[in-house]
Structure 1
């Protein structure tokens, strides 16, 4: 890779960090030196943009969340305001998670020291709020925010548990499509039981 140290920016550092996390299937083995090597600069140059590796990871987590949300919402073939749209949203979320297990681990598993910046805290709350809004829309505004929140938490908790098993090779099903079909079927079943 050609050195990009002359064009270095926070965005480029985060892009390279996310690529390394994706390649390594998590942030565990990604260091400042790894990031700097990919960028073609000394690791000390990164301190001109970030205070620490932890700060880079927090910001990368925020970017991974945005990518997940964008992917889940932008690949819909129907409007999100119907039940089919909700299932397609989950379908996309499963695809994204299976395609990027390293980002999934960064978002949900990997320990990051320090405190997240305020912008990242806002991003951490955004997916849950959006899922609640989607569930309310799908119900034609018949569900209260409290009930929609309960449904969102249960569906997400189930999905997260199953994805954790699949990503960490703890699932009894190793076939991606079979796993995805089972997850979507169970999500549909649970959703119908709760509304």
Structure 2
């Protein structure tokens, strides 16, 4: 039985869920996505030219979900600096809770070039983080300084998350690991803004 009413959004939603459940793109094929949608894998070509095009669309979806999670209102962030570290903490939590999405977003190669809408999505986290950083910093920063600080903080966090997600760390306690990353990020931030 084939389902006649599949669409681009359903394909992306299904692939996003499968990548989360499988902890990455391994075993997330056109046939597996189509099986979940109860259609032939060739039907997916009506919406995407290849599996990699689906992965690119999923990447944009993941970034959107991450930003939504990071930007939830909070009563705990009393200062702009609190807000900065709350967002970083939520960034860490998001990817710890979804290691498959982290792998797709930051570790697994994607063939071809990102479509323009995905390129825009890829740039959004850094843009939003730069705005939060600018508000948190006690002294004015140049655009270059802001970009450098954002890049260093993100790269440090990406590295720590990658080590944890790939089981390459000696720390086995998730709470301690999160506290370590958060504490080190704060120290790094304070060193960088001096």
TM-score (norm 1): 0.93
Distance 2:184 2:52 in 1: 37
Q: Specify which of 43, 46, 49 is matched with residue 47 of structure 2.
A: 49
Q: Specify which of 117, 126, 129 is matched with residue 127 of structure 2.
A: 129
| Contact 1:81/1:134, CA 8 A, preserved across alignment | no
Pair 130,175 (structure 1): closer, same or farther in 2 beyond 3 Å: same
Pair 32,56 (structure 1): closer, same or farther in 2 beyond 3 Å: same
1:81 Cα deviation from its structure 2 partner? 6.3
| Contact 2:130/2:150, CA 8 A, preserved across alignment | yes
Deviation string 1:92-135 (CA, Å, 9 cap, x unpaired) is 00100100000010000111112211100111111111111111
Pair 28,73 (structure 1): closer, same or farther in 2 beyond 3 Å: same
Deviation string 1:36-70 (CA, Å, 9 cap, x unpaired) is 00001110111111111110011111111111111
| Contact 2:77/2:83, CA 8 A, preserved across alignment | yes
Structure 1's consecutive aligned runs of 4 or more residues displaced over 6 angstroms after TM superposition are none
Check if 1:19 corresponds to 2:17.
Answer: yes
SS in 1 for 2:118: helix
Q: Specify which of 11, 21, 34 is matched with residue 32 of structure 2.
A: 34
Map 1:142-161; keep pairs closer than 5 Å.
142-161=140-159
SS in 2 for 1:5: coil
Distance 2:135 2:23 in 1: 35
Q: Structure 2 stretches of 5 or more lacking a match?
A: none
1:5 Cα deviation from its structure 2 partner? 2.3
Q: Structure 1 stretches of 5 or more lacking a match?
A: none
Map 1:91-130; keep pairs closer than 5 Å.
91-130=89-128
TM-score (norm 2): 0.94
| Contact 2:2/2:40, CA 8 A, preserved across alignment | no
Distance 1:121 1:45 in 2: 26
SS in 2 for 1:38: helix
The count of corresponding residues between Structure 1 and Structure 2 is 193
Q: For the aligned residues, what is the CA RMSD?
A: 1.7
Distance 1:79 1:166 in 2: 27
